[in-house]
Amino acid sequence: MTDNAGVEPTPTAYFERQGGVRIAYAHTLGRSPTVVLLCGYASDMSGTKARFIEARCKARGQAYLRFDYQGHGESSGDFVDGGVGLWSEDARRLMEGVTQGPLVLVGSSMGAWVMVLVALALKDRVAGLLGIASAPDFSEDLILPALDPAQVDALAREGTVRLTSRYADDPHTVSRHFLEDGRRHLLLRSTIGLHCPVRLLHGLEDPDVPWQTTVRLARALESQDVTLTLIKGGGHRLSEPHELEIIDHALWTLISELA
């Protein structure tokens, strides 16, 4: 069963950061390690994968944390003021503030970029990683090369550009700040000093982030315990029922191995 029928979502709470920032989160208590979902760019904690993993964690008595970055979902802040650095800091501060003990981080798309940045900051607590359609460095490697001259000019003059998305009716805003911030946090240009177990999933038909990006991530990680699963026919979201089951299997196999 892949639906969440009969499973009540954990109520939303708020974590206060300096400057009056409020980070919306839902923390399900349970056994260690705590599973933490890191959402993708412009996604939030109410999405299909976030709720699916919560339901499975509850069924198994596993601790689980999902949340919204600043400028996303129910958290405060303006989306165009954010970037992977700020959102990684949101994630780290929240984990330090509301969780205890070992963590297994699950990063979806941009969330896998955040996942690795947080793991580097919390090496003593992060026991394992699961990347789903991982998109580290996508601002530099995917967004910038795709901009046409008019969009580059708009970024230079106005500081923002509106880009269409296959996942939303309205264009979303990409800021010069987001791109510059991404450049300060690039990962794939050097080795990544993590040694925990890492499981990576990617759809072979992903139209947004090529599966080769996940191969680059696997190669950059210093850990020797890294496996990559390519899903035939899989797109970017990997939210179809059979794809959710693949995610579930990878996550619980990882947790079992850690135990």
Strands 21-28 and 13-17: antiparallel
Torsion of CA 7, 12, 177, 156, to 10 degrees: 70
Distances (CA, A) of 47 to 9, 22, 37, 43: 12, 20, 11, 7
Pick left, alpha or beta for residue 77 (phi over 0 → left; psi -120 to 50 → alpha; otherwise beta). left
Q: Which of 88, 108, 109, 139 is catalytic?
A: 109
Is there a catalytic annotation at residue 236?
yes
Is there a catalytic annotation at residue 169?
no
Q: Which of 27, 72, 202, 236 is catalytic?
A: 236
Report the catalytic residues.
109, 206, 236
